[in-house]
């Protein structure tokens, strides 16, 4: 059994279990914005989600945002961007449960935090500022 709480402790992250089997840790980016990282172990996989990475307001330019997500996903390793049922952007990752080690867990949570720091601000601007061009993400 993968002990998620122990893995968070090994990564030196504080966490809580808001629901049985779902763990949450909060972290801050360099812009001092807080994000929640959720981790859940299923029978075969350990699932990670920074949710929401970007809250998308009604009326946002979702077509441009979806294109930016698709282009950005091509460059990401270990993680992917997705739009959830509410229309918000999430940063997701999965790892085989049988192969999960402390080192893998630390690498994954650190990668998700770094990716959040690198992408959230630009994606939020793409979603909410019509015509915004992100040199970082190569949007049109």
Does residue 138 belong to any structural domain of this protein?
Answer: no
Domain range for 105 is 4-128
Does residue 137 belong to any structural domain of this protein?
Answer: no
Tell me the per-residue pLDDT of 2-45, one tens digit each, with 9 for 90 and over: 799 999 999 999 999 999 999 999 999 999 999 999 999 999 99
Check whether the bond before 52 is cis (ω within 30° of 0). Answer: yes
pLDDT at 137: 85
Token representation of residue 96: 């085989």
Mean pLDDT along residues 114-135: 93
Global pTM reads 0.94
Number of domains in the chain: 1
Cβ distance 61 to 53 under 8 Å?
A: no
Token representation of residue 106: 């630390």
Please give the DSSP secondary-structure letter assigned to residue 99. Answer: G
Confidence of residue 140 (pLDDT cuts 50, 70, 90): low
pLDDT at 138: 78
Q: Which residues contact 10 (CB under 8 A, 6 or more apart)?
A: 102, 105, 106
Distance of CA 11 to the CA centre of its chain: 17
Cβ distance 91 to 123 under 8 Å?
A: no
Confidence of residue 108 (pLDDT cuts 50, 70, 90): very high
Report how far residue 116's alpha carbon sits from residue 91's, in angstroms, rounded to the nearest whole number. Answer: 8
Does residue 139 belong to any structural domain of this protein?
Answer: no
pLDDT at 46: 97
Report how far residue 9's alpha carbon sits from residue 92's, in angstroms, rounded to the nearest whole number. Answer: 21
Does residue 133 belong to any structural domain of this protein?
Answer: no
20: domain CATH number is: 3.30.1460.10
Does residue 99 belong to any structural domain of this protein?
Answer: yes
Tell me the per-residue pLDDT of 47-101, one tens digit each, with 9 for 90 and over: 999 999 999 998 888 888 999 999 999 999 999 999 999 999 999 999 999 999 9
Q: Any idea which of 26-35, 71-80, 105-114, 129-138 has the lowest mean pLDDT?
A: 129-138
pLDDT at 9: 94
């Amino acid at each position: 059994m993968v002990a998620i709480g122990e893995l968070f402790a090994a990564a030196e992250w504080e966490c809580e279990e808001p629901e049985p089997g779902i763990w949450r840790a909060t972290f801050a980016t360099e812009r001092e914005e807080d994000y929640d990282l959720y981790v859940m172990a299923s029978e075969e996989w350990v699932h990670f989600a920074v949710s929401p990475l970007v809250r998308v307001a009604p009326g946002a330019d979702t077509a441009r945002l979806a294109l930016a997500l698709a282009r950005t996903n091509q460059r990401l390793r270990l993680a992917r961007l997705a739009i959830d049922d509410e229309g918000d952007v999430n940063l997701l990752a999965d790892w085989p449960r049988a192969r999960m080690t402390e080192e893998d867990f630390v690498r994954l949570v650190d990668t998700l935090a770094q990716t959040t720091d690198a992408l959230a601000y630009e994606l939020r601007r793409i979603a909410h500022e019509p015509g915004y061009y992100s040199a970082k993400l190569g949007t049109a």
